[in-house]
Chains A and B, each alone.
Chain A
Amino acid sequence: MTGRNLPPLSLHVPEPPFRPGDTVDFADFDMPAAGAVRRPPIDTSPADIRDMAYAMVRVLDDEGRAQGPWDPRLAPETLLKMLRSMALTRAFDERLYRAQRQGKTSFYMKCTGEEATSVGAAHALDYDDMCFPSYRQQGLLIARDWPIVDMINQIYSNRADRLKGRQMPIMYSVREANFFSISGNLTTQYPQAVGWAMASAARGDTRIAAAWCGEGSTAEGDFHSALTFAAVYRAPVILNVINNQWAISSFSGFAGAEATTFAARAIGYGIAGLRVDGNDALAVYAATQWAADRARNNHGPTLIEHFTYRAEGHSTSDDPSKYRSAEEGGKWPLGDPIVRLKRHVIGLGIWDEERHAAMDLEVAELVKAAQKEAEKDGILQDGLKQSFDSMFEDVFEEMPWHLKEQSAQMHEERRAAGI
């Protein structure tokens, strides 16, 4: 302004490459070759693998063959179990999405296209490792063989809902399966996972923790504090970022993706950072296994960016056609995680199209049966199923006078109103 001969400043506001109606072309997408990235020893110094934060660990090539040093060389049973968990997760999503559309519940969120990021990780972790998920890791519970009828009970807030109708659908809590209570507040589980891991280390335990958040959520302050604490105390924790490109309507550029990768966030904290093909179940498995071994051997935390694509709307309340091109999902260069693993196991000769089709039917029937079972205990639509008294319980360990008073008042008011 004061006579300096400079052009006016301009504010950069990121814009995604494709909007509704645009023709999608991922020709510019730099597709890293499967098997090309080295596999460092688990005690590697974070500084020595900085390049890996910008590369991409991929195992499965276009033909579904496992390539390179990250191939976890899994037993056929494990491969088929992972495939089935992913298929079951997808079938579960399909059916519960429809249940919301039918008015049986208020809300649902799918993880379509991201099944490998949770199922692959769950298989590489020990069952007693503690998971701190976000709302899009239903695959963890399913891979841990948690009864899906219990998940549906929660979604329906019905009589059998262990969370007593207090939580929005999909905000599961399953202590028995080492699956931490999901919060609606993004990224709060990140420092909690670090704290759990610190406690495990302080106690000389052997269990580790793992946390998940979306790439959009990495912009929260909790992400920064979690990484700082994880690095400072070398906490035995795996910090997963599911980069599915979208945070509701905001593309990953609003979380900083235009400038760098999410795995590269690790570098500034001195944490090991890996970037993996999130649609490659074997790459997810291998990276998680590496990070888990590293954590378990006191070499500290690892941040893993899972590069994937949110194939469906953000939730049942969202219409993605309003902000992104409908072509994007179909043209996503990293494909579909289930199709890719299927091709792999068929190539190995341990699977075929017939068995796959039969499995798809079987998991669909399984979900249908579980849904029927859950509906015996009620759905949200036909009214509250939990006792009213329970609304005031568990605020504190013991109910203080003011909650007793309010509970009594509620009953009195309802009685007076004749309900």
Chain B
Amino acid sequence: MNMIQAINSAIDVAMGRDGAIVVLGEDVGYFGGVFKATEGLQKKYGKTRVFDTPISECGIIGVAVGMATYGLRPVPEIQFADYIYPALDQLVSEAARLRYRSGGEFNAPITVRTPFGGGIFGGQTHSQSPEGIFTHVAGLKTVIPSNPYDAKGLLIAAIEDNDPVIFFEPKRIYNGPFDGHYDRPVQPWSRFAESAVPEDYYTVPLGKARVVREGNDVTVLAYGTMVHVAHSVIQETGVDAELIDLRTLVPLDIETVVASVRKTGRCMVVHEATKTSGFGAELSALVQEHCFHWLEAPVQRVTGWDTPYPHSFEWAYFPGPVRLTEAFKRVMQD
């Protein structure tokens, strides 16, 4: 399966097991979603469980919170993460705080699926990576898969989780892993082991990172599309890097991160999102707090620039092979 098929299968399997799960969002019903992630679900589960909504993100999330309060488990889709902002108040002020402010009387077990990330010439409003806005909110979990196997297992785990989860789907790798070489054709997922996705139920636990590649010289912390970009640069440069796919940003798998950095003594953080106050800043601070005496060089952050996502400058903006290679040189220098 590719990522889309894996996500579709996750929702299908989860819905089959739990009648309380409902899917809602713009174009998700009859049409099956602009990326086809919900294709066939309305036909299978009916219009009261999979339905189209008005174009109103604040309405979609507000209504989902209300449905959750009733006892359903809504899986709302926000068509692009760039359009999640109208729903911020419902996510930050309501979904995230409901359990806390009601002393546990009410909660909002919603899973907000939303395609995110760049590398697709999406310009300013089809490329953003707003995860840092959500990791900053107490009460939200933030999950980002990087391959079909994880996408399905993490999504089922997110839907079953009793806390609100923001599930970012790196749309650049829906069809195949992207290594950052935009001038080369993308290989489909079918050529990679992670496309072997079981048809049935399984989960990948939230809060657990995956060591993609073991290494001794430097730890690379990445998620989403950047896992693949980092992986290919590691192979090309021959650095003996340990690559960690965080998979869940909150709650973070701190143990895996700390154990790795204490082993390697160096750390590089990679994300597409803008640099200032991005999640990389949190990672860098945590590494500094937990691994200060083990660090042999400053933590390097390779991120999008602090600008809105530009259209024609895509490949100067995107933290691709050129920028990662330079960062490896810097981090290995001292």
Contacts and interface: CB of A to CB of B under 8 A. Distances in A.
A192 B103 contact: no
A393 B62 CA distance: 24
Contact of B106 (A180, A395, A402): A180
Contacts of B68: 195
B300 interface: no
A197 B66 CA distance: 8
B142 to A, nearest CB: 12
A192 to B, nearest CB: 4
B101 A163 contact: yes
Nearest to A221: B58
Among A185, A192, A209, A393, the most chain B Cβ lie within 10 Å of the Cβ of A192
Nearest to B108: A192
Contact of A181 (B86, B105, B138): B105
B66 A194 contact: yes
B72 A199 contact: yes
A188 B103 contact: no
B141 interface: yes
A163 B103 contact: yes
Given A162-B103, A173-B102, A202-B49, A195 B65 contact: yes
A106 interface: no
B252 interface: yes
A397 interface: yes
Given A166-B100, A402-B251, A198 B66 contact: yes
A322 to B, nearest CB: 29
B207 A400 contact: yes
Interface string B118-150: 000000000000000000001101000000000
A164 interface: yes
Interface residues of B, number: 47
Nearest to A193: B66
A196 interface: yes
Interface string A167-201: 10001011100001101110010111111111111
A209 to B, nearest CB: 8
Interface residues of A, number: 48
Interface string B66-93: 1111111010000000000010011001
Contacts of A200: 70
B163 interface: yes
A199 B66 contact: yes
B63 A198 contact: yes
A177 to B, nearest CB: 11
A86 to B, nearest CB: 27
B66 A183 contact: no
Contact of B58 (A167, A222, A232): A222
A225 B107 CA distance: 22
Given A194-B66, A397-B99, A397-B107, A199 B251 contact: no
A173 B141 contact: no
Contacts of A174: 105
Interface string A134-163: 000000000000000000000000000011
A396 B105 contact: no
Given A166-B100, A181-B101, A196 B69 contact: yes
A395 B162 CA distance: 11
B101 A173 contact: yes
Interface string B195-206: 000000000000
B297 interface: no
10 contacts: A132-B66, A185-B94, A192-B69, A195-B62, A198-B66, A202-B72, A203-B72, A229-B56, A229-B59, A232-B53
Interface of B: 22, 48-49, 53-54, 56, 58-59, 62-72, 74, 86, 89-90, 93-94, 97-107, 138-139, 141, 161-163, 207, 250-252, 254
Given A166-B101, A401-B251, 18 more contacts: A163-B102, A174-B105, A175-B102, A185-B89, A185-B93, A191-B62, A196-B66, A197-B66, A198-B66, A199-B22, A199-B70, A222-B58, A222-B89, A229-B53, A232-B54, A393-B104, A396-B99, A397-B163
